[in-house]
Structures are given as C-alpha cells and as structure tokens.
Chains A and B, each alone.
Chain A
Amino acid sequence: MTAKPDLSVVIAGIRMKNPVVLASGTCGYGPEYADLIDFNALGAITIKGLLSEPWMGNPPPRLVETPAGLLNAIGLQNPGVDAFIADYLPMLRRYDLPVIVNIWGRTMQEYGEVAARFNDVEGVHALELNISCPNIKAGGMEFGTDPKVAAEVIGLVRKRTRLPLIPKLSPTVHSIALFARVAEESGADAISLINSVPAMVIDIERRRPVLSNGMGGLTGPAIRPIAVRLVWQASRAVKIPVIGMGGISCGRDALEFIIAGASAVAVGTANFLDPGTALRVVAEIEDYLRRHGLASVRELVGTLQFKQGS
C-alpha cells in the first residue's frame, strides 16, 4: 500500500490542508455553506468582497445562465467590514479553516482603510485584493487594468496591512505576465486569477441586455481554457505562488491549473450547482497523485511538459 499523498500547501504563509479553496463571491460569508459541507476539510475559504460600509450592489436581474457558464452582475453587494467582523467571523473562527477576505474600495484610499481594519482582527489569514470586478462603476476593474494604478493600490495596501496580500487579477489585460510582475514587485505574497470575464447577454425580443447592469462577469466552465492559459503565463512570470481559478468543477479541471503552475486552486460557480464540489475536487486530486506515484501535490505544480518554440 502506498502512503497517503501529501496535499498540504503553504500559500502566502497560510498553511492549507489541501490546495482547494472556495472562491470569493460564491460561498457568501460562511454560514451559507457551513451546514452543507465540512469546512474543516477545505484548503481555505475566500469571503465575498467587503467594503468599508454596507453596499447595495446592482438591482436584479443580476444573473443569467449561459452555455457552460453564468453571467452575473451582483455589483459587490456586501454588509461592510464591521458587520462581517461582528456577525460572521466568530462563526468562521470555530473551524480549522484559513479565512481569506476579499476586499475592495471605491478609491485608492478606501482600499487601504478596508485593509487596515483587519490588522487587529483575529481569524483572518490573508486579504485578497479585488482589483478586477467588472460590475461596478467606481473601484474594481479600473484598478486592475492599468499597471501603474495596480502598482499604486497594491503598494498602498501593502503598507496598511500586516496580513499576506493576494491581488486578484483581471483576465482582460494585454499581458498577464506584466500584471503578475507588477503585483510581485508591489509587495504581493501571492496572486489569484482569474476574475470573471466581462460579457453580455441580450434579450432579443426587448432588445435590451438581460442584466440590469448591461454587462456582467462570465464564470463557469466556459472560461476555464482562458483561465488555464492566463495562469500558465502568470505563473511563469513570478516567483510568488498563484491561486488558479475559473470554471473548476472536478479534479481534472483543478489539475490542469496545478500543472499549468497554480500552487492552489479555487472552486467558484460549481459551488452553486453542487456545494460538495470542492471536497470532491480534493478527493480526485488525491486519487490522481496516487495513480501517478506522487508523494505531494507540490511536486506537480508547474510541471507542464511544454517549451514554447524559440
């Protein structure tokens, strides 16, 4: 009998039992899933994007199904940092589960303020910096598609937080390698990618966009090949670890990202279809490691057998 493969990873100083994380925006603030899946068996959870104060987000319709995907424009509705700390964090502390909090701001300054709010808070293990949400006018993607602005906001938050910092990168940039390097040079401890892909669905009878916001962010299996390519390119450009995500719904999908160069992966939209997806992904990764005689998942990271032509 072979020894149980080692699934543990360390990302941005966070020790995780396995490399499978719940992606921001798809697992709420914790209680939405806590009674349905075993939180102690997950790699980590990423809390939906928080602002300094409660935020209403966009009016409905906010969601529409697309071929092999979902288009959403929730608009970062959230209860605000203080409500999260008071109402949700105590419950999350009960689990042996690293908590990554996704944060955003409407201004550069606000990003820093939200980040600083967690310095004296127990039970938060890292901050994911949302500089890539396509669904709000101010904040979000405008911070993540200009390398100078991205460097500035990451650098500013770096100064304001003691926590590991994980900028979440936008897929809609000309060179993901450039943005990965900008993040690394500005003090990021890891990067996560990809955020949703800006997209649109039109109601042809009414000749109007289906979503109230006009456009939204596309997620789910439809974007997976895009995400795998970007993770591959980003991970080759930096030394810091990459958390890969985009349409992962089984172990095979997750392994694509890991082989491409991701040290950890996140499950997002698939949580909506099957809350047990992340735990199934863990089991399927373990099975793969066994079949391939690998002692640790870490041996597999970035082992894509491919050299780009010179």
Chain B
Amino acid sequence: MRLIEEATIVEHAEFTAGYRRLVFQAPRIAALAAPGQFVHMRIPELSPEALRRPFSIYQSHAPYLHVIYKPVGRGTQAMMHAPPGETYNLIGPLGRGFPVAPDGPPPVFVAGGYGVAPLSFLAERLPRRGVAFIGGRTAQDILCVEDFASRGWDVRVTTEDGSRGERGRVTESFDRWVAARKDAGPAELFACGPEGLMRALGERTATLGWQAWVSLDRPMGCGIGACLACVQHVRDDGGKVAWARCCTEGPVFDAKDLVWDGVAP
C-alpha cells in the first residue's frame, strides 16, 4: 500500500560532514515503510514544474520517517535549508524493498556511500546478523557504522583513499573475506550503492551461488509506475528479456534476474 501525505519536517541538520538528515512527521507512510523502499518527494524550494525526487528510507519509527542525503544535485541543494515546520508532499512508501525473512543463510551487506542508509533500516528489521561491508571514497563517505556495530554486526570499512578502514574498494575487501571463509556455505547478499558496484556484486554472487538482492538507484519520473523512465532489463519467468520498472518492480531486485548488457529492444 502507498499513499500521498503532507509531511512536516521536524528535524533537518547535518548528519555527518557533507551529508544531511531530514526527519519528517509522516505517520501514515512511516507506519507502512519497509527497508529498501523509498519516498517520492516534492521539493517546494524547486519550481512547481519540477519533478519529484526519490529518497530511500533510512529509518522509520512511526510517526517519524528519516532520510539521509548528500546535497549534490539541483533538488538536494534546493532542499538544504528547508526549515523544521515546513511541509513536504510525499508519496510512499514506494517500490519493492529487501525481503525480511527471519531465517536464512548468514546475511552479508555491501554498501557504497549513502547506499548504506536502507541497509541500516534493514539491519534494524532483519532478525539475523552478519557482516556489513561499508565502502566510500573517503572517511567522510562512511556513514552509519554504529547502526550495525551496535546491533552486533561485524563491520568492515573500506575507503578508496585509505582515510578510514582498509584502503581500496569495497569489492576487494568483500573478495578477501569470501576467499578466507572458503567452504563456509552460501550466504545471502543485500546491497545498495552505485550501479557498477551492484553489477560487480551480482556477478560475484552468481559465481558463488548465493541469493543476492541489489538495490538500483535510477533517475525517476513519476515514481509510481506510469512514466516508464526508470526501466531496467530483467529476465522474466519464461527466460525472456523484459523491462522492469525500478520504481515498482524494484528498486530491489534479485541479482540473478538482472540483464546488463546490450540486449536489443
């Protein structure tokens, strides 16, 4: 179920250097939100003709709904100074999130940058614990480590410049861990981050024979399945290549269904 709600900003401040957190009073959406889902936000600071912007949900404790963002584009820069008390029109919760099963193989999380936000939400709802790989360009881009550590997760941080945790890419750290655990049996991957990372993880888990869930971040139009802008090639049940909408069939996909390369429409 999804709905349209006028949400009041109750808190809006720096989260960590370069990132901000918005907390809305959005009781109806917050009550329904699940990890991996998103809200489609109308930003009143933009012109009234501007499209909504999708934000994945970081935390949801009704009546409060949290999102984390990095002011990089026109929309996120415009909303930077939105004061508490202002109302934002939200549609949500939207899309298919991560499965939250009580039992299953050990969970492995891989996050790139602020892709960590929905995984933090998932760590809160998923009764299982495991290993969380959190990667970013620099120490500034490493968020939410405590969210996992405090819940008993084994957190492995990597930065490309070595300013925090291991130096390198998050996939290198992941590969070393996989190699070290040898025949420990399949794990279940949950990942969110840049598309290249999602694809790389999809290829690795296919080889490993793991179940893998990856979240794709795509520019969106309507966010509710009508405009067909955010499409991704997938293999359907019959093995045929078809389009899936990241806003509706996604943003979380079973990695083995995704088709990445040059399939002629």
Contacts and interface: CB of A to CB of B under 8 A. Distances in A.
Contacts of B2: 35-36
Contact of B227 (A35, A61, A75, A272): A272
A74 B227 contact: yes
B3 interface: yes
A72 interface: yes
Contacts, number: 85
A108 to B, nearest CB: 23
**Majority SS at the chain A contact face:** loop
B243 interface: yes
A168 to B, nearest CB: 18
A26 B42 CA distance: 18
A62 interface: yes
Nearest to B231: A60
Given A74-B229, A77-B228, A56 B48 contact: no
Contacts of B229: 60-63, 72, 74
A72 B219 CA distance: 13
Interface stretch (B49-57, B62-70, B152-160): B49-57
Contact of B221 (A56, A59, A70, A274): A70
A68 B47 CA distance: 8
A102 interface: no
B222 interface: yes
B3 A36 contact: yes
A151 B225 CA distance: 35
A301 B74 CA distance: 40
A13 B128 CA distance: 61
Interface residues of A, number: 35
A274 B42 contact: yes
A77 B51 contact: no
B265 to A, nearest CB: 3
Contact of B222 (A57, A77, A220, A272): A272
B227 A275 contact: no
A273 B47 CA distance: 11
Contact of A70 (B51, B226, B265): B51
B91 A272 contact: no
Contacts of B222: 26, 32, 271-272
A63 B265 CA distance: 17
Contacts of B197: none
B114 to A, nearest CB: 22
A271 B219 contact: no
Contacts of B218: 60
A82 B143 CA distance: 49
Interface in A9-44: 25-28, 31-33, 35-36
Interface of B: 1-4, 42, 47-52, 89, 91, 218-219, 221-222, 224-232, 242-243, 265
Name the 3 nearest CB pairs between A and B, nearest first. Answer: A56-B265, A63-B229, A28-B226
Interface of A: 25-28, 31-33, 35-36, 56-63, 65, 68-70, 72, 74-75, 77, 220-222, 249, 271-276
24 contacts: A25-B227, A28-B225, A32-B224, A32-B225, A33-B224, A33-B226, A56-B243, A59-B265, A60-B218, A68-B47, A70-B221, A72-B221, A74-B228, A75-B265, A77-B228, A221-B49, A272-B221, A272-B222, A272-B226, A272-B227, A273-B42, A273-B51, A274-B42, A275-B4
